[in-house]
Structure 1
Amino acid sequence: MIPASATSTAIRTCSANGQLVGQMPSPGIRTASPAHMLREDNEVTNGFRRTLPATRREGVAGSWAAVRDYDLRRTAALIRNPTLVIAGEYDTVTSARHGEELAAAVPGAQFTVLPTVHLANVERPTEFLDAVITFLTERAPRRSDV
């Protein structure tokens, strides 16, 4: 589980009604995004820049509370399908340690860490797809098995 203290402080900071994330001094976007994404001018990065600051503070506070309060260890133990957990090495929102704990709770899960912050599929799409495709093809039946 994620330590509640820092997240609880962030939730209290985001509790004012009617204000948008873009109107508050918040490190949220900066800490959940790698530096190159903050500098880049492309469709994906610009989409995040438009969406995140326009999000109501209550929504951000609610999502942070959900991350803080979730505990999937008991539920994860019920998963019986092949599972790949991908974590970001530099993620300050849900650390790689949390991904490792989740993978340990899922019987037979595979755990992979990518050199990303929070959005591995956006930050490093090639490496993310390679990890997913490798995971899936290692488990696919061979033509001779069919």
Structure 2
Amino acid sequence: MQATVNGIDTRYVFEDRSGGPALTFIHQLGGDLSVWDTLAGHFRHRFRVLRYDVRGHGASAVSTSAFGFKELAADLTALLDAKDIEKTHLVGMSMGGMIAQQFALDHAPGAAHDARSRVLSLTLCDTASRTAPEARDTWNERAALVRREGTSAIADVTMARWFTPEFRRTNRDTVAPICDVLLRTPSEGYARACEALRDFDVHERLARLHVPTLAVAGRHDSGTPPALTEALAAAIPDARFEILDAAHLAPVEESHGFAALLESFLRQQAQQLHPASKPQ
């Protein structure tokens, strides 16, 4: 399905069969909505599940101008509006976790479950709350490399960062399609997202969030070391931090463990909203 979102032709999948609360998944840099196929299938019977390709990724159009995370969060806002989704649980991985943080800061002004809030809960995976100044040149260099040579120039090192060696060896049927998505990512879309990542910093604002939050890190993540995700969790009041035995794409590499964590977390939020309801 396609929608025009802030002038960007955007691909999305919305499974609206359950009648439950909305659950929105946001993918990583160099990914697309297919990275969530397994988890979407797991949750679609209890939630209305939304996935989409971030601008410049997958089948969504490449932006003709520079953008930051305010614009990426505004894209999500417009897509939710287009599907008449007032409130949603948000799950974001890597870059997707940064979009989720920005969106939460833009739309969760009060306490948990504030009537004004559009965020029911946050699940932030393998992500950070800011890019350190000393790391910004790295993003400039990566953007320049991809503009010159395409995403094939970074494919091998990216797969090594996204998955542990053992997982890559024994789960080629999972890894190969994710690598193919990276290779098909438009160079300019990837590069512009790198430049947005270079400038991302919401860390000092996270204390304002009063949204139930689960932060999940991969123990072997070299791209976003677990300490960065743990620092993010420490900055959000009452956030919960968990580690899985995985590299950067922990929700993929440890899909069963992640699904169990997310299911437990979402059930807890439902029980807090409706204390008299019985656990499912």
Alignment of 1:96-107 (within 5 A): 96-107=226-237
Count of residues in Structure 1 that have an aligned counterpart in Structure 2? 145
Moved more, 59-68 or 121-130: 59-68
Cα displacement (A) at 1:127: 0.4
The equivalent residue for 1:12 is 141
TM-score with structure 2 setting the length? 0.44
- What's the counterpart of residue 145 of structure 1? 276
Kindly report which structure 2 residues correspond to 1:51-70, keeping only aligned pairs within 5 A, or say none: 51-70=181-200
Cα separation, 2, equivalents of 1:55 and 1:81: 32
Which has more helix, going by share of residues?
1
CA contact (8 A) 2:139 2:195 kept: no
The structure-2 alpha-carbon separation of the partners of 1:104 and 1:25, relative to structure 1 and needing over 3 Å to count, comes to closer
For residues 44-123 of structure 1, the aligned pairs below 5 Å read: 44-123=174-253
Which of 164, 172, 195 is the matching residue for 1:41? 172
| Structure 1: gaps of 5 or more residues | none
Query: For the aligned residues, what is the CA RMSD?
Result: 2.8
In structure 2, the residue corresponding to 1:85 is in which secondary structure? strand
Following the alignment from structure 1 to structure 2, what is the Cα–Cα distance between the partners of residues 4 and 144? 45
Matched residue type, 1:41: R
CA–CA separation in structure 1 for the residues paired with 2:167 and 2:275: 44
Label 1:108 to 1:6 Cα distance change in 2 as closer, same or farther (>3 A): closer
**Secondary structure of 1:77 counterpart:** helix
Stretch moving more, 94-103 or 15-24: 15-24
Partners in 1 of 2:152 and 2:263 — Cα distance? Answer: 37
Identity of aligned residues (%): 26
Structure 2 CA distance for aligned equivalents of residues 87 and 34 of structure 1: 14
Q: Which runs of no fewer than 5 residues in structure 2 stay unpaired?
A: 1-129
Contact 1:88–1:119 (Cα < 8 Å) also in 2: yes
Structure 1 pair 3/120, CA: closer, same or farther in 2 (3 Å)?
A: same
1:49 is displaced (CA, Å) by: 1.9
Q: Any idea what SS the aligned residue of 2:234 has?
A: helix
Report the more deviating stretch, 45-54 or 31-40: 31-40
- Looking at structure 1, the residues matched to 216 and 166 of structure 2 have their Cα atoms a distance apart, in angstroms, of 20
State the TM-score, normalizing by the size of structure 1. 0.77
Q: What is the rounded CA distance, in whole Å, between the counterparts of 1:123 and 1:3 in structure 2?
A: 27
Report the Cα distance in structure 2 between the residues aligned to 1:10 and 1:72, rounded to whole angstroms.
Answer: 18
- Amino acid paired to 1:127: G
Q: Which has the higher contact order (CA 8 A, sep 6+)?
A: 1
The Cα shift of 1:56 comes to 4.1
3-state SS of paired residue (1:116)? coil
- Structure 1 stretches of at least 4 aligned residues deviating more than 6 Å after TM superposition: none
